[in-house]
Amino acid sequence: MTVISMFFFLFIIGCERNRKTSNKGNALITVDLTASYPHKELILQDFMDVEYIVLETNDEFLCQGRVLDIGKEIMLVRNNRDDGDIFVFDRKGKGLRKINRRGQGGEEYTTYSFRNITIDEENNEMFVNDVKKINVYNLEGNFLRSFLKNEGTNYSFLSNYNREYLIGRETTLHIDKKSTESLPYVIISKKDGSIIKDFRISFEQGINPVFSVTDGIGSPTMFIDVTNYFNSIIPFHNSWILTELSSDTIYQLLPNYRIYPFMTRTPSIHSSMNPEIFLFFKIFTDRYYFFESFKKTIDRSILGGFPRTNFVFDCQEKTIHKYDAYNYDYVTKKKIDFLWAVFTTYNDNEIVFHLKIEAYELTKLFEEGELKGKLKEIASTLDDDSNPIIMVVKHKK
C-alpha cells in the first residue's frame, strides 16, 4: 500500500508538453481561492477539436443519449431511466445493436447499477460496474465472466489503466471524519477482479462532502453529496489526476505507479472557512487546465444552485485566470459550462469531454438563425423527436 505525502517527493509535475513523458521540473501549481484573478474569454475551437455525432433515429434506436463510454470505433449510450438498455452506435452515430442483460441472474446486471460501463476495444470487452460485482461481456453483449467485489465495497469511475488492468476508486456511504487517509484508488485485474495495487492520499482530517438543504424553518428537505459533481479520477493522456476533497493537494499518477503532487490550494480545506470550499479538476488540454472551486452550500438564485468559481491555468503563460469558454458554432455567444462535462472516462484517449445537445434545442436555434458551421448543417436535418446529438471535444491535432 502506498501512502501519499508531499514530504516524500522531490519533483512535481507541470504542463505535459509531450504526451509520452512528464515534465517534473516545473513549479507546483498553487491556487489561492481568495485571490482576485483576472478574467479571460476562450473560444473552444481555438484549442480543441469538436466533433458532432448525430445518433441515428429509428424505431429500434430511440434513446435519451446518456453516454456511458466512447471508443475509437463504437460508443455506448443508455436512457436516463433504468430500463437496462445499452445502445451501441458507431462513431458516426449509426445504430449497430441494442443490448439488455437486465435481471438478477449471475450473467445479468441489476436495473439501477450499470451507470458505469468501460469499453476495452482492444480485447473486445466491456466491463459493467454492478452493485456487488463486475460483469464482463463482449461488445456483442455475450457474457464472458464476472468477479465479486469485496463485501461492502463499490468502485466509482472505472476506466482502462492498460490492456490488463482497470483503475477505479473504492466508495462507501459512510464518511469517517476521524480518518487521516482517503479511500483507496485501486488497480484491478481485468481477468479476475483482484486488486493489483492501491494508493491512498493522506490528509489532516476527513471532510464530509454531504450537506443538507433546509426549508424556511430549518428542516432538511434534501441531502446533497458534492462528490456526485466531480470525478476523483480524471484521465490525462497516459496518466491520471487523483483528487481527494479532504486534501489540499491534487496528484498525478503515471503508468509506472509513480505519484507526484500536481496542484495545491490556499487556504487549506482544514482552515476555519464556513462553509468549506472544495477544489477539483474538470478539463485538461495541452495548454489549459480547467478547475473549479465549489462552495458547500446552495444558492437558489444562481444557475445550477451551487456557488462556483471557474479557473484556468495557462501552461504557456504560467498564469491563473477566471474564465468563460464559448462554442464558436453559435452566432450568439454560447457558454460552455464544464460542470456538466467529464462524467465518464473514455476508451479513446483523444477525447477530453462530451456534452449532450437535445435535438429540439437545435431545431429551435436553427429556425432563429442562431447556428453556423457544422452545427447549422446538422440542425437542418433534424426534427424535435430526433435522438440527441453528442458533442465530442478532443485534443487538438
Say what the pTM is. 0.86
How many Cβ atoms from other residues are within 10 Å of residue 259's Cβ? 21
* pLDDT surpasses 50 at 241: yes
How does pLDDT run across 375-396, given as a tens digit for each residue? 999 999 999 999 999 999 999 9
Among the residue ranges 10-19, 301-310, 352-361, the one predicted with the least confidence is: 10-19
In this prediction, residue 3 has a pLDDT band, given cuts at 50, 70 and 90, of very low
How does pLDDT run across 270-303, given as a tens digit for each residue? 998 888 999 988 888 889 999 999 888 887 777 6
In this prediction, residue 1 has a pLDDT band, given cuts at 50, 70 and 90, of very low
Q: What is the mean pLDDT of residues 191-210?
A: 90
374: nearest Cα among 331, 328, 329, 332: 329
Query: Vertex 281, ends 280 and 282: CA angle to 5°?
Result: 125
How does pLDDT run across 308-325, given as a tens digit for each residue? 899 999 999 999 999 999
pLDDT of the residue at 78? 93
Measure the CA–CA gap between 323 and 318, rounded to whole angstroms.
15
In this prediction, residue 339 has a pLDDT band, given cuts at 50, 70 and 90, of low
Alpha-helical regions (H) of 288-392: 359-367, 373-379
In this prediction, residue 242 has a pLDDT band, given cuts at 50, 70 and 90, of very high
Q: What is the mean pLDDT of residues 366-381?
A: 96
Task: Write the secondary structure of 18-69 as one string of H (helix), E (strand) and C (coil).
Answer: CCCCCCCCCCCEEEECCCCCCEEEEEHHHHEEEEEEECCCCCCCCCCCEEEE
Q: What is the mean pLDDT of residues 223-241?
A: 82
Q: Is 345 buried (19+), middle (13-18) or exposed (0-12) by CB count in 10 A? A: buried
pLDDT of the residue at 215? 62
Q: What is the mean pLDDT of residues 149-169?
A: 88
Q: What is the mean pLDDT of residues 229-237?
A: 82
Cis peptide before 267 (omega within 30 of 0): yes
343: nearest Cα among 255, 188, 235, 215: 235
In this prediction, residue 178 has a pLDDT band, given cuts at 50, 70 and 90, of low
Torsion-angle region of 350 (φ positive above 0: left; ψ -120 to 50: alpha; else: beta): alpha
How many Cβ atoms from other residues are within 10 Å of residue 33's Cβ? 18
* pLDDT surpasses 90 at 266: yes
Contact 245, 25 (CB under 8 A): no
Element (H, E) at 347: none
End-to-end CA, the chain: 38
pLDDT of the residue at 223? 77
Q: 3-state DSSP call for residue 93?
A: coil
Query: Vertex 129, ends 124 and 130: CA angle to 5°?
Result: 125
Q: 3-state DSSP call for residue 247?
A: coil
* pLDDT surpasses 70 at 197: yes
How many Cβ atoms from other residues are within 10 Å of residue 219's Cβ? 8
Quote the cell numbers at residue 78: 443508455
pLDDT of the residue at 10? 30
Measure the CA–CA gap between 245 and 248, rounded to whole angstroms.
8
Cα torsion through 82, 87, 91, 96, rounded to 10: 180
In this prediction, residue 6 has a pLDDT band, given cuts at 50, 70 and 90, of very low
pLDDT of the residue at 19? 38
